[in-house]
Structure 1
Amino acid sequence: MKLRATITLLSAATLMQAQQPAQTPAPPSTAAEPAQQPDLTPTDQGYSITARSTLVLVPALVKDKSGKLIYTLKASDFRLTDDGIPQPLRLEEDNGGQPLAMVICVEVGGAGRNHLHDYDGLGPMLDNMLGGIPHKVSIVAFDSTPTLVHRWSSHLDSISQTLASQDPGDSGGAVLDAVNFSVNLLRPVPTTYRRAILLLSETKDNGSHTTLGQALRAISDTNTAIYSVAFSSNRVEEAGAASKLSSDEPGPDHGCFSHDPKTDKVVKTDGSVGPAEESKGTQYFDCAAELAPPLVLARMAEIAARNLLRKNISESVAKLTGGESFKFKDVKTLDRDLFTIANHIPNRYVLSFHPQNPHPGLHAVSLTLPNYDHLTIEARSSYWVDDTTTATPPASNAPVTPKQ
């Protein structure tokens, strides 16, 4: 594999020709765009990739036990399964020169109000990450509501100035809404661009209207890598924040997942009390067991992904998309984390495959190195395929006028 010193991010989701110019809920870009557009299906609330999208990209970072990056592997060294089914892989040999579209998604509300000064001097770091390749960047600032504060631009000086001039927001920190908003900004980006989100936020959500299911679909149905650098919340109620997230019903009416689990203690015939018949967790696992392979793997992956999102959103969205997550406390640790991201990205393997008869919904992806037990690998764990006949639109945030 030929590696470059420039920054390499995940490429766009589909390599299909567009029938019409795509639209997006976000305000239009002022920058000139190439004519080519991704194959998107219009809906009332946005766009979603359909089952016709057959190319899935899997970026992978490989290290040895000491943490040293390994970049001499070939496609034949990797083994990938899609819902347990092995897939033939292709390794992109040299994609470092491909242009990049990045959304910088920064929390200005909640605990983020204490970190606005940390972004004053990010110009040199952004230049290190983006200066060596064609790029365009937009900025989304969020508190209780995500707002587009900088339209697509390739001018890093103006981008740095916008980051440094953000005013404190309200007490909210709607991370899922902001991520969903950012994904929607990237949907109509031409397929000649790679897509990425740099998320600067706390680890917990506070106030999102996006449900866990909608969030999972949003981050899984485009080939967008999310790199998160998170700070801790100082809220007393942080531990209960995850429980406040909106949730979806896990299954259709009268289905196995539709009823409440039998969590009441059992009263035996002799009057003694026994343990509950099941918990929510055992209900999920028992219901998933009723599905036929490979759907059982996909369902188990969806359950695991939802639970992951409840625990730590910033870390979860990075892991699920094949990006990386870090934590920072101050300017020094933020610079260190961004430097690490800039160093790791060009040394990622970019693997791709065409799913064989993909079913609609979430797919469980597993990437391994069978002959290299001493190496560790970080890669995306899922992707989403829409059903063209019954697809429902992804959650969308209403466009907000950029701040002047």
Structure 2
Amino acid sequence: MTKAAVLKSGVLAAVLSGAAFAQTTLHTTTTLVVVPTLVETAGKELVFSLKADDFVLTDNGVPQKVMLEDASSRPLSLVLLMQTGGAARGQFPSFANLDTMIASILGPAPGDVTPNKVSVVNFDSRPEAASPFTSDVAQWKDAIDHPDAGNSGAAVFDGLEYAIGLLKQQPANMRRAILLISQEHDDGSHAKAKDVVRDLGETNTAVYSMTFSAEKTTLRQEFRHSSHPHPPITINPAAGSFLGYYDLSVPLNAAIGAMHKNMSAEIAALSGGETSSFDNAVELGDDLNVLNNHIRNRYILSFYPTSQTTGLHTIAVRLVHHPELLVSARRNYWLEAQP
């Protein structure tokens, strides 16, 4: 992987811990909390062969009885959520052979007893209709590798809410995950970040976010395809008289856009997933190979909460005898007191 995965909570963590959620109505259907957990060395090598009693998991600071499940007992339901509108059109070449990469994440061949499954959703200013969940991603090859250009929108949060709704309909024993391929920040959603994080927590859904810079992609596209009658600008005069015809509003918009936080990464971190960034097909392929390895080798921890307090619960996972190892797991979940 050419770029290190970034896990952070930042602005959203502060928002989520505040009073904005004090009056939120929550709806959970089970008290079993599933916590996929990745363990690595300081050198980013995966650690295997740990057992349930190696982990300490606390819920609001209170240790819980942890179960370690066989990953094969929880097949994966994955929504591939792809941005096709706005700046994403400049990244379409990066999506070449994406179907092959997704097939490797799904793993077991069609016909297995409990195959992993994927549904494909494209979005621009709104999410499009989803393909049915299937273990044979090849049937969606053309739609994945050659997406239709959408409009100028990039409603990331609306897309996430739509994907969560699809995953809610999957069997309770499935692991639920969203692979989000999009720009870094939302543009035009009606859904709010706090609602997305709440729903992710209620459904035990992890977000794996692969982001590109909308500003950088737009700038590159403008240089490649600009035919606008703007004054010429001399590029690097010392090297010659190379001229570029360029719309000066573009770098201004890029500078403003760069001020926004990478909210896709924030969502991924809080859900227990991970994030990385890419700028071309090679980088996206490298990132997906790492993600494939991580998804397959996460420990599936679960517990029944001893507290039925309604609202936000904070999770912390650590290792008893190996404090030097790096542990990545979801940081919270939502609970409504059972009737």
What SS class does the counterpart of residue 77 from structure 2 fall into? Answer: strand
Shift of 1:67: 1.2
From 206, 209, 214, give the equivalent of 2:187.
206
The answer on whether the counterparts of 2:51 and 2:68 sit within 8 Å (CA) in structure 1 is: yes
SS in 2 for 1:148: coil
Tell me, yes or no, if the aligned pair for 1:56 and 1:355 is still in contact at 8 Å: yes
Q: How does 1:173-322 map to 2 (within 5 A)?
A: 173-234=154-215, 236-237=252-253, 311-322=261-272
- Residue 322 of structure 1 aligns with an amino acid whose one-letter code is G
Distance 1:111 1:120 in 2: 17
1:82 to 51, 59, 66: 59
SS in structure 2 at match of 1:150: coil
- The answer on whether the counterparts of 1:204 and 1:242 sit within 8 Å (CA) in structure 2 is no
Indicate whether 1:130 and 2:106 are aligned. yes
Deviation (angstroms), 1:95: 2.2
Contact 2:71 2:299 in 1 (8 A): no
TM-score, L = length of structure 1: 0.64
2:89 counterpart of 1:108: no
Match of 1:375 among 321, 325, 328: 325
Residue 116 of structure 1 aligns to a residue in which SS? helix
Of Structure 1 and Structure 2, the greater helix share is in 2
Find the aligned partners of 2:68 and 2:255 in 1 and give their Cα distance.
42
Could you tell me how far apart the structure 2 residues matched to 1:120 and 1:207 are? 27
Q: Secondary structure at the match of 2:199?
A: helix
Q: Cα RMSD between the aligned structures? A: 2.3
Aligned position for 2:153:
172
CA contact (8 A) 1:77 1:369 kept: yes
Between 148-157 and 222-231, the greater mean CA deviation after superposition: 148-157
Residue 132 (structure 1) shift:
1.6
Aligned match for 1:340, one of 276, 280, 290: 290
Distance 1:374 1:330 in 2: 34
SS in 2 for 1:69: coil
- The SS at the match of 2:58 is strand
Residue 334 of structure 1: SS of its match in structure 2? helix
Measure, in 1, the Cα distance between the counterparts of 2:333 and 2:145: 35
Q: What is the DSSP-based 3-state SS (H/G/I as helix, E as strand, rest coil) of the residue aligned with 1:111? A: helix
The amino acid across from 2:104 in the alignment is N
Relative to structure 1, the CA distance from residue 61 to residue 217 in structure 2 (aligned partners, 3 Å threshold; closer, same or farther) is same
Match of 2:302 in 1: 352
Alpha-carbon distance, 1:177 to partner:
0.8
Contact 1:205/1:241 (8 A) holds in 2: no
Aligned match of 1:60 in 21, 37, 46? 37
Q: Across the two proteins, how many residue pairs are aligned to each other?
A: 275
Moved more, 95-104 or 155-164: 95-104
1:182-205: per-residue Cα shift (whole Å, max 9, x none)? 001110111232211111011111
Q: Deviations over 1:139-178 (max 9, x none)?
A: 1111111112422233211222211232211221111111
* CA 97–386 in structure 1, closer or farther in 2 if over 3 Å, else same: closer
Equivalence for 2:123:
142
Structure 1 residue 96: deviation in Å? 2.5
- Matches of 1:125 and 1:145, distance apart in 2: 25
- The secondary structure found in structure 1 opposite 2:148 is coil
Distance 1:56 1:175, change over 3 A: same
Which amino acid counterpart does residue 272 of structure 2 have in structure 1? G
**Whole-angstrom CA distance in 2 between matches of 1:385 and 1:184:** 18
Summarize the Cα distance change of 1:88–1:125 in structure 2 as closer, same or farther, 3 Å threshold.
same
Tell me the distance in 2 between the aligned counterparts of 1:49 and 1:241. 35
> Is 2:315 the counterpart of 1:365?
yes
Percent identity between the two aligned chains:
39
Decide which of 320, 329, 334 is 2:279's aligned counterpart. 329
Contact 1:49 1:222 in 2 (8 A): no
Deviation at 1:135, TM superposition (A): 2.6
Q: CA deviation at 1:331?
A: 0.4
Distance 2:88 2:293 in 1: 26
Residue identity opposite 2:80 in structure 1: I
Q: Structure 1: which 5+ residue stretches go unaligned?
A: 1-46, 244-309, 390-404
CA deviation after TM superposition for structure 1 residue 125, in Å: 1.5
Aligned to 2:336: 386
Q: Does residue 1:161 correspond to 2:137, yes or no?
A: no
Displacement of 1:325: 0.8
